[in-house]
A and B are shown apart, each in its own frame.
Chain A
Amino acid sequence: MSTATIAGTAVERNDEGFFVDPNQWTRDIAVEIAAEDGITTMTDQHWQVIDFMRKEYFEKGTGPTVRVLGKTSGVSVKDLYLLFPKGPAKMAAHIAGIPKPRGCI
């Protein structure tokens, strides 16, 4: 666990860089984390996925897997990989400030 200052806000992240408290997240923070992950411009489609991830997390307690994202976020799995090339579920969770999707047990 470590505390970092991102976009002027102190946030706590775990060893893998995922948020400990999703409520510390802001859109400005997301833009900076995306840049760290190699996404220089956050498009509307990126935000659509990020907002969806957060909604799912707050409703269900875990972010969705890639396949569920592809079925329900309105963005196809192929496009998800274009948006988040390092693996959509994990990368989008990272930027959305929610824990790593459990992918179940």
Chain B
Amino acid sequence: MTKRIVILGGGTGGTLVANRLHRHYHKAHGDVSITVIDQDNHHVYQPGLLFVPFGLADEREIVRSRKAQLHKDVEFIESGIERVDSGRDVVVLADGRELGYDLLVIATGSHLALDETEGLAGAGWNEKVFTFYDLPGATALAAALADFEGGRLVVNVVDMPIKCPVAPLEFCFLADWYFTDRGIRDKVEITYATPLDGAFTKPVASATLASLLDEKGIHLVTEFNTGEVDGIGGKLVGYDGREMPFDLAVVVPLHSGGDYVGRSEGLGDDLNFVPTNKSTLQTLAKGNIFAIGDATNVPASKAGSVTHFEGEVLVENIVRFLEGRDLSSTFDGHANCFIETGFGKALLIDFNYETEPLPGHYPSRVGMPLLKESRMNHLGKLMFQWFYWHALLQGRDVPGIGTDMPEHGKQHTSTTPNRAPEEASA
């Protein structure tokens, strides 16, 4: 009998898993049906959102039809989701329609929970207080930045985890470049306020990024937990009472999982993320429910690269599960991120659950420099968009980039984090 695979979410993870599954079963002459459900038909290339505020990208370049990214034999349903009834193996759609499944994949990503921060979406929202984490926000911010003639710019992360945890830092670096380019950098004070106790979560990369902020004259404020945003008074107020005045605030809101997860008994945690086995990607809720990408609670970055690496493991395990075999494939938490640093340069970091980002080269001794600014990394970041549409979403492997984190080329012994050793000895 035909096995029904239903995938919730047609973003990065849902699309690449659907296409990978289709390819596998097509070759193996497997009898499965694959359905993807998403609330809309606009697939946004989210890494492109970083460039929109600076006029370097716009809606036309970074949005495509979701359906068009899926193989034609994959069914696409445009609908909201009411809840998952895991007891009956049924998804209830927004209009009450029910869809049965043999295997469910949760790929609904994360959601910007504006309401969780007092005043954030109140007076001044999209006038003085912005986010670039969605397309309307990034577009409104582009107009505000173009009109900005000077003053205090505060970039603030409300809480972790967030998608692409380096993106707010990249925003600061690009703002530094943008105002320099406009000749008004001396009139703009840029501050980065984070709830973390350093510029980034992992020690070696954190030190490198902190010194880059310093070099560019960007103030770093750590352990700032935003309690309230006062859009009219122009200040952020921390839970500890600290106040941070601004003329323009760029806020990355608290992230949560989808509301429907909260309505689905036994599926999510306190923030509606889905507890998931970090190696097999099977959820803890039920054996026939798997999860991928930002929707899970696995302790990896919420990034497209992570989602891509998870895809291969997930598909292998789904095939095994449906054949009644043990799950064997394991995910190591591999993440690989370009960090745009402005002035046509970027830095590359590569890490997994166990190994923090280290200096060296990627993927082997001859390759892109790690944890070090270079023009080559910037070009890599720009090329990523092409790979995203043409290889990653299609479920193809990106040449030279495997699922497991490569070890060759990494310098474990380095204790001078902001310099690659060959540079130090030059």
Contact = CB atoms under 8 A, between A and B. Distances in A.
Contacts of B335: 105
Contacts of A105: 161, 165, 201-202, 299-301, 335
B171 to A, nearest CB: 19
B271 A68 contact: yes
B148 interface: no
B270 A102 contact: no
B252 interface: no
A66 B161 contact: no
B240 A87 contact: yes
A62 B197 CA distance: 17
B201 A71 contact: no
A78 B201 CA distance: 25
B363 to A, nearest CB: 20
A90 interface: yes
Contact of B299 (A62, A66, A85): A62
Contacts of A102: 201, 299
Interface string B181-216: 000000000000001110001100000000000000
Interface in A68-105: 68, 71-72, 77-78, 80-81, 85, 87, 90, 102-105
Given A77-B227, A87-B240, A103-B196, A67 B159 contact: yes
B322 interface: no
A41 to B, nearest CB: 21
State the majority secondary structure of interface residues on A. Answer: helix
Contacts of B195: 65-66, 103
A4 B122 CA distance: 50
Contacts of A62: 299
B239 interface: yes
Nearest to B159: A67
B143 interface: no
B146 interface: no
5 closest cross-chain pairs (CB), A and B: A104-B161, A103-B160, A104-B160, A105-B301, A81-B239
Interface of A: 60-62, 65-68, 71-72, 77-78, 80-81, 85, 87, 90, 102-105
Given A66-B195, A71-B270, 18 more contacts: A66-B159, A66-B225, A66-B239, A67-B159, A68-B270, A78-B239, A80-B239, A81-B239, A81-B241, A85-B240, A87-B223, A90-B197, A104-B201, A104-B301, A105-B161, A105-B201, A105-B202, A105-B335
23 contacts: A60-B275, A60-B297, A66-B159, A66-B195, A66-B225, A67-B116, A67-B225, A68-B270, A77-B225, A78-B227, A81-B240, A87-B240, A90-B223, A102-B201, A102-B299, A103-B160, A103-B161, A103-B195, A103-B196, A104-B160, A104-B299, A105-B299, A105-B300
